[in-house]
Amino acid sequence: MQKKWWHEKVAYQIYPKSFNDTTGNGIGDLRGIIEKLDYLKDLGADIIWLSPCYCSPLADQGYDISDYYNIDPRFGTMDDMDELIAEAKKRDMYILMDLVVNHCSDEHEWFQKALADPTGKYASYFYFEEGVDGHAPNNWRSYFGGSAWEPVPGTTKYYLHLFHKKQPDLNWENEELREKIYEMINWWLDKGLAGFRIDAIINIKKALPFTAYNYPADREDGMAAATLMLKDAVGVGDFLTEMRDKTFAKYDAFTAGEVFNEKEEDIPNFIGDNGYFSTMYDFRSTIFGESEKGWYDCKHITPDDYKACCFETQKIIKENGFISTIIENHDEPRGVSRYIPAGEANDTCKKMLATMQFMLRGLPFIYEGQEIGMENVDFKSIDEIDDISTLDEYQVALNAGLSEADALEAVKYYSRDNARTPFQWDDSENAGFTTGKPWLKVNPNHTKINAKSQINDPDSVFSYYKKLTALRKNPEYKDTVVYGTFEPYMEDESRLMAFYRRGEEKTLLIIGNYQTQERTIALPAECKKVVLSNSDKVDITSDNKINLSGYQAVIIEI
Ligand code: GLC
């Protein structure tokens, strides 16, 4: 595997709307990010991915872009963006934007022109299709609920939106449209962006013709999940190759693809030395337990399932590429509330999960607030939730017969808004996020969990993350942490997550006691050095066993 400039870095995701508001409008902004660059540098973050801050009606929080060439005034100006890129460069940091090109906003000028002339050139930038017998062209259900087709006013046609109806899908079969997208990507790269996180990209290839792909209904509504079409949509690689060659490759840009359900044999194509992307995320644990019926029917993940998911990815990826590890992002609940059984989350557990994430082979992405151990929100009413996906899933649960209380209970565990509440900078009224009214409820636990109380506390979750980022860059261990091979240790042992990382010169053993009970584990070889632990005491006995306290994690050199 070729070594790349970004392999040894640490990445960090910012959700601009919820990060830091400097204007008092209740919405985070680019100046707020500039203000916190030193905080991020201190944490050890190098690559910063910004969720969308382009012009947008914010129907899906910016994942509905109405102008790819401008910053939404609520987030700031293009001058702010240029300054952010420049200030990041000064600190040896890299800025990534979110590339959302499966769809745009219905308020984008292309779509407006398409509506104005439904048989004209701009209509062919989208999928404007004739209905069948007065109905939509097929029975696909959009990812956010309801039909994936919306009537085009004044015609017998429908337009496709795999996501919300305010997110019409772009027609990638149209070469002119593709060229417009590449032009835009290069415009941003010329500005000095280091690359992109690439949104929902696997959806750009559709199963065509649409009318040939009706699937058996999977819910009472008679529709079928649009994801089903992905297995019949052959040839996405051609688009991805073209995009890479006409844009990213020319700049040695870093790209992280949002790719789900990749087949093992496709991994080298996606993230091999000459893959479509630099890396993609490991979503195995986030999609675990999914149900076609909806969130209310999903199976919660256990510690053993979590380990199995992480290990499965490692075994499949091997040297075939470089995956990106996450424990949460803006589409998921907080990792500590999900992967630690209810009632058990504390700082020790948070540090254990962090140790596992950082020591698996791959590029770690920290999601804003993860580094201070932010947790899910105890939403008291559906009215406190803004996210369109959660609102849809709540309705799905009600339709399935759940009471309002049970439906809320079911969806709040998975709600994307758990990760979108304002960043908890301090214990003041709005957690130091804004002087105005925050756009989304601040988690009341900010009085206990906040950055200010952790930055100078050597035992805090934040300080522990700093140790992990430092270890990744430590010349003594870097080669092993970044490139060492992965091999499980005592894999069948329940509630134990242990593995080796074997580098050319050093071998590390990582052990996480994934339970509250103490336990004793035999070590496979003599411990040469304790590299890091989330507990002050690392108790190795004379007969080469290690006594672990509840949720203790250790990294030892053997
Ligand atoms: C991706 C984004 C998500 C968004 C969707 C549609 O999954 O991460 O937030 O809603 O794409 O753009």
Which tens digit of pLDDT belongs to each residue from 354-404?
A: 999 999 999 999 999 999 999 999 999 999 999 999 999 999 999 999 999
Residue 389 within a domain? yes
User: How confident is the model at residue 445, as a pLDDT?
Assistant: 98
pLDDT band at 77, cuts 50/70/90? very high
Residue 468 within a domain? no
pLDDT band at 319, cuts 50/70/90? confident
Is 199 a pocket residue for ligand 1 (Cβ < 6 Å)? yes
Residue 131 is encoded by which pair of tokens? 């209905």
Nearest CA residue ID for atom 6, ligand 1? 63
Is 35 a pocket residue for ligand 1 (Cβ < 6 Å)? no
Q: How far is the CA of 199 from the centre of ligand 1 (A)?
A: 6
Nearest CA residue ID for atom 9, ligand 1? 331
Q: How far is the CA of 488 from the centre of ligand 1 (A)?
A: 33
Query: Based on the structure, what is the number of domains in the chain?
Result: 3
Is residue 258 annotated as part of the catalytic site, yes or no?
A: yes
- Ordered DSSP codes for 442-494: PPGGGGTS-HHHHHT-TTSHHHHHHHHHHHHH-TTTHHHHHH-EEEESSTTST
Tell me: do 99 and 118 sit in the same domain. Answer: no
pLDDT band at 263, cuts 50/70/90? confident
User: How confident is the model at residue 262, as a pLDDT?
Assistant: 85
Mean pLDDT of 293-320: 97
Per the structure, the complete domain to which residue 150 belongs is given by 109-160
Q: How far is the CA of 16 from the centre of ligand 1 (A)?
A: 15
Is 188 a pocket residue for ligand 1 (Cβ < 6 Å)? no
Q: Pick from 402, 430, 462: which residue ends a domain? A: 462
Which residue out of 101, 143, 199 has the highest number of ligand 1 atoms within 8 Å of its CB and is therefore the one to mutate? 199
Q: How far is the CA of 389 from the centre of ligand 1 (A)?
A: 10
Tell me: do 217 and 309 sit in the same domain. Answer: yes
The predicted model scores a pTM of 0.98
- What are the helix (H) ranges across 58-154? 78-90, 109-116
Tell me: do 212 and 340 sit in the same domain. Answer: yes
Q: What is the mean pLDDT of the chain?
A: 98
**Which of 121, 104, 26 is CA-nearest to residue 68?**
104
Tell me: do 117 and 200 sit in the same domain. Answer: no
CATH at 121: 3.90.400.10
User: Rounded to 5, what percent of the chain is helix, strand, coil?
Assistant: 35, 20, 50
Nearest CA residue ID for atom 2, ligand 1? 199
Nearest CA residue ID for atom 12, ligand 1? 63
How far is Cα 419 from Cα 367, in angstroms, rounded to an integer? Answer: 9
Nearest CA residue ID for atom 3, ligand 1? 331
3-class SS letters over 350-377: HHHHHHHHHHCCCEEEEECCHHHCCCCC
Is 283 a pocket residue for ligand 1 (Cβ < 6 Å)? no
How far is Cα 168 from Cα 63, in angstroms, rounded to an integer? Answer: 11
Asked if residues 374 and 391 have their Cβ atoms less than 8 Å apart, the reply is no
CATH at 71: 3.20.20.80
Strand, coil or helix: 529: strand
Is 98 a pocket residue for ligand 1 (Cβ < 6 Å)? no
